[in-house]
């Protein structure tokens, strides 16, 4: 076995990464295709991650990645490490490979920040490394007055002008929440949208407010995934940019800067667990948008 770790992703060759992507396909079918989509909109995977990888001969067999995300937490700017894409090839499971790589990845993260996070469907894997399940919420929007809003759907995967507009908006964005909000300049939102095939379906431009809203329908409900602007628009503008919902409108993040009367409700367990590690501040109810997840 040969182990790699601690060097930026761009330190490794395309052939090396091709072997890691082949590993991803065994645990996360379709992830390499999503990585390719992210690269097509200007976010090459190796540029944003520090990989920890075990090789058996010429075959990548286990991986843990670390991302560094600037965030706004309780009104303070902080750096948070995101553990992501943890996997082991089925033929090599049960040998402690992921456990070893997780220990190395956490030690690396601790050199940069005391705060780490991850999303998972299998929390017990991570509790031995100091992670604990942290409850997340979504927020039911309070009633709003409909106001005139000009809104145009964006197709950043298909239309270069739309991609450049979105990238520029992300670079100058203000955090959409002071309680828990991303400050990264676009690589995370674009990657998450590419991986989940949301690039051409969720973004809407509000030219009069120099803002971009990300939202999607889920059954009768509408979910607000993000608000991207240097100066955040008012709540009524954001909600009026969405078509009327037959059900509810839900903020996927804490709308403390938009909708102080929104009602928090626990995110369903079926959505997976969110875990944190380190001396996190007491935040009160917060949410993690699908476009801000690691």
pLDDT digits (tens, 9 = 90+) for 65-96: 999 999 999 999 999 999 999 999 999 999 99
pLDDT tens for 12-49 read: 999 999 999 999 999 999 999 999 999 999 999 999 99
Q: Using one digit for the tens of pLDDT, what is the confidence trace for 214-231?
A: 999 999 999 999 999 999
Is the predicted pLDDT of residue 144 greater than 90, yes or no? no
Confidence (pLDDT) at 48? 96
The yes-or-no verdict on residue 269 having pLDDT over 90 is: no
User: What does pTM read for this prediction?
Assistant: 0.94
**pLDDT confidence band for 270 (50 / 70 / 90):** confident
pLDDT classification of 251: cutoffs 50, 70, 90 = very high
What is the distance between the alpha carbons of residues 133 and 49, in angstroms, rounded to a whole number?
23
- Tell me the HSE value of 185 on the side-chain side, using a 13 A CA sphere: 7
The model's confidence at residue 272, banded by pLDDT at 50, 70 and 90, is: confident
pLDDT-derived band of residue 185, with 50, 70 and 90 as boundaries? very high
- For residue 294, pLDDT beyond 90: no
pLDDT exceeds 90 at position 286:
yes
pLDDT at 271 over 90: no
Q: What are the C-alpha distances in Å from 175 to residues 92, 93, 188, 248, 258?
A: 41, 40, 14, 24, 12
Measured CA to CA, the distance from residue 165 to residue 150 in angstroms comes to 16
DSSP string computed for the chain: -EEE-SS-GGGS-HHHHHHHHHHHHHHSTTHHHHHHHHHHTT--GGGT-EEEEEEETTEEEEEEEEEEEEEEETTEEEEEEEEEEEEE-GGGTTSSHHHHHHHHHHHHHHTT-S-EEEEES-THHHHTTT-EE---EEEEPPP--------EE--TTT-HHHHHHHHHHHHTPPPS-SSEEE---SHHHHHHHHHTT-TTTSEEEEGGGTEEEEEEEETTEEEEEEEEESSPPPHHHHHHTSPPPSS-EEESS--TTT-TTPEEEEPPGGG-EEEEES------S----TTS--
pLDDT at 15: 97
What's the chain's average pLDDT?
A: 96
Burial track 236-270 (b if 16+ CB lie within 10 A, e otherwise): bbbbbbbeebeebbbbbbbbbbbbeebebeebeee
Residue 108: which pLDDT band, with cuts at 50, 70 and 90?
very high
pLDDT at residue number 163: 98
């Amino acid at each position: 076995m040969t182990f790699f770790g601690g060097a930026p992703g761009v330190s490794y060759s395309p052939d090396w990464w091709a072997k890691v992507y082949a590993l991803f396909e065994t645990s996360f079918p379709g992830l390499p295709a999503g990585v390719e989509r992210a690269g097509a909109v200007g976010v090459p995977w190796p540029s944003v991650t520090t990989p920890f990888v075990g090789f058996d001969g010429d075959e990548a067999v286990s991986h843990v990645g670390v991302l560094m995300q600037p965030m706004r937490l309780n009104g303070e700017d902080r750096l948070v490490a995101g553990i992501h894409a943890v996997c082991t090839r089925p033929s090599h499971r049960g040998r402690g490979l992921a456990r070893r790589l997780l220990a190395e990845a956490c030690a690396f993260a601790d050199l940069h920040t005391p705060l780490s996070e991850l999303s998972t469907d299998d929390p017990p894997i991570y509790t031995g490394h100091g992670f604990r399940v942290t409850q997340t919420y979504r927020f039911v929007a309070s009633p709003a007055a409909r106001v005139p809003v000009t809104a145009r759907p964006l197709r950043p995967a298909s239309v270069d002008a739309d991609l450049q507009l979105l990238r520029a908006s992300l670079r100058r964005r203000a955090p959409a929440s002071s309680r828990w909000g991303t400050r990264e300049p676009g690589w995370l939102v674009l990657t998450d949208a590419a991986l989940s095939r949301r690039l051409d379906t969720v973004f809407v431009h509000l030219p009069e407010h120099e803002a971009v809203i990300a939202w999607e329908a889920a059954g009768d409900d509408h979910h607000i995934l993000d608000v991207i602007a240097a100066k955040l628009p008012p709540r009524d503008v954001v909600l009026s940019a969405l078509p009327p919902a037959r059900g509810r409108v839900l903020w996927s993040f804490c709308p403390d800067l938009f909708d102080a009367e929104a009602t928090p409700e626990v995110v369903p367990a079926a959505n997976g667990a969110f875990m944190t590690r380190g001396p996190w501040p007491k935040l009160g109810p917060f949410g993690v948008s699908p476009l801000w997840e690691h």
